Amino acid sequence: MRRVHVHVNVEESKLDASIDFYRTLFGGPPVLRREGYAKWMLDDPAVNFVVEVLEIEGDSPGIHHVGLQVDSEDELAAIHGALKAAEAPLLEVGRTQCCFADSEKSWTADPQGVRWETFRSFGELDHYGEKTPEELRHYVGSSRGE
């Protein structure tokens, strides 16, 4: 199954208000709540929705990135094939631990520079994890390699 991923960067002072807003909008509390982080896994619509306080130099509040989360290696390979056919820039991170999840992921961008994360997760972690230096450059900077 494919699930749309939306990741919103919020200011620390607005995190609680944001969580309350989305709790009301989605009709329930986040399925994962950590310091500076909240995630909803919705089935209708199929969305992995995250609000997070990102304290990365050069980042700003708002929609940080969007993505596609899949359940299988075959689904992820199909997305990668489509991205290569579209000649999109592709940063293949591979297996990583980030955002309280053990995942396999890649990053790309559309022609407007909107960052897209494609991933499948293997399970939750009790710690945040970290991004590689290459991923940080892509994650914060222009996703077209600038």
User: Which amino acid, 112?
Assistant: Q
Q: Each residue of 86-140: pLDDT tens digit?
A: 888 888 888 887 777 788 998 888 888 888 999 998 888 787 777 777 776 665 4
Please, what's the b/e burial string for 64-101 (b: 16 or more CB within 10 A of its CB; e: otherwise)?
Answer: bbebbbbeeeebbeebbeebeeeebebbebeebebbbb
What does the alpha-carbon distance between residue 38 and residue 111 come to, in Å, rounded to a whole number? 29
What is the structure's pLDDT at 145? 37
Q: Each residue of 9-62: pLDDT tens digit?
A: 999 999 999 999 999 999 999 999 999 999 999 999 999 999 999 776 667 788
Cis amide bond preceding 45, omega within 30:
yes
pTM: 0.79
Q: What is the CATH number of domain 3-140?
A: 3.10.180.10
What does the alpha-carbon distance between residue 21 and residue 38 come to, in Å, rounded to a whole number? 12
Q: What angle do CA 123, 125, 131 make, to 5 degrees?
A: 100
45 φ, ψ (degrees, to nearest 5): -75, 165
CA distances 116 to 20, 29, 65, Å, are 26, 25, 6
Q: Where are the domains of the chain?
A: 3-140
- Least Cα distance to 94 among 81, 104, 84 occurs for 104
What is the structure's pLDDT at 128? 72
- Least Cα distance to 99 among 73, 131, 57 occurs for 131
What is the structure's pLDDT at 102? 81
What is the structure's pLDDT at 136? 65
